Chains A and B, each alone.
Chain A
Amino acid sequence: DSGVTQTPKHLITATGQRVTLRCSPRSGDLSVYWYQQSLDQGLQFLIQYYNGEERAKGNILERFSAQQFPDLHSELNLSSLELGDSALYFCASSVQGGTQYFGPGTRLLVL
C-alpha cells in the first residue's frame, strides 16, 4: 500500500459526460501528479500541483482540468468525454521533488 488513495476505482460513463476523479496523497506529501495510462499512448504525465498551486502541465487536454484543495487532496475533472478518454488514470504524490508514489488508479470506460 503506497498510502495514496484514489476514488472511484472504476467508472463507466457515456460520451459527452463529465466525471471527477479524486486523489488523496500520502500524509505529508505536498505534490500531487496525475498520469493517464492508455493502450495507444502509454503512461503520460498530465499535470502537477504543489501545495495548492499548479506546478507543471503535460499532455493535458483543454477538456480536462484539475485542482488541489487546502487539505491537499486533488481532483481531476474530465468533461465532454470521448471514447478515446477511456484509460487508467493514476495519481501520485511526493515530497517536493522526491520519489513519486502511485495510487491504485481509476479505470475510466467511456461508452
Chain B
Amino acid sequence: AQSVTQLDSQVPVFEEAPVELRCNYSSSVSVYLFWYVQYPNQGLQLLLKYLSGSTLVESINGFEAEFNKSQTSFHLRKPSVHISDTAEYFCAVSDDNTDKLIFGTGTRLQVFP
C-alpha cells in the first residue's frame, strides 16, 4: 500500500531564507508525486508535480522538487521564501493502479519577517 510521510509538522523560517520541506513515500509501483499548497481558509492548489521525465520539477513561484527514486523522496525547496509563502504544504502520491491521491499529514510553513 502507498503511504506518504512528511516528517516536519511545522517549519518556521525567516523571510529570504532557504527552506526544504521533506516528503518520503512508500510504494511498490511507479508513482506520480505532487505538492499541493493550502493557504489559510482556502482550498488546495497544485504547486508542482512529477509524472515522468526530468526528476527536477519547478513551479512558477520559485519552488522546486526533486524526485529521488533510490531514496523514495520528493522534497520541496525554495532558495528564498516570502511572507506570502506562509501556508500548509501537502505532499501526495498516486499511481497507475489508482487515481486516488494519498496525502501526507502536511507541513505548516511559517515565514517570519
Q: Is the beta-carbon distance between B99 and A97 smaller than 8 angstroms? A: yes
Q: Contacts A2-B43, A99-B49 hold; do A48 and B99 have CB atoms under 8 A apart?
A: yes
Q: How many residues of A contact B (CB 8 A)?
A: 24
Q: How far is the CB of A108 from chain B (nearest CB, A)?
A: 14
- Whether B99 pairs with A55 at a CB distance below 8 angstroms is yes
A43-B90, A99-B46 given; A31·B36 CB < 8 A: no
Contacts of B45 in A (CB 8 A): 2, 102
Contacts between the two chains (Cβ within 8 Å), count: 50
Known: A42-B106, A102-B44. 9 other contacts (CB 8 A): A33-B99, A33-B100, A35-B101, A43-B101, A43-B106, A44-B103, A56-B99, A56-B100, A100-B46
The 5 closest A-B pairs by CB, nearest first: A43-B103, A102-B44, A104-B43, A45-B100, A105-B43
| Interface positions of B (Cβ within 8 A of A) | 34, 36, 42-46, 49, 90, 96, 98-106
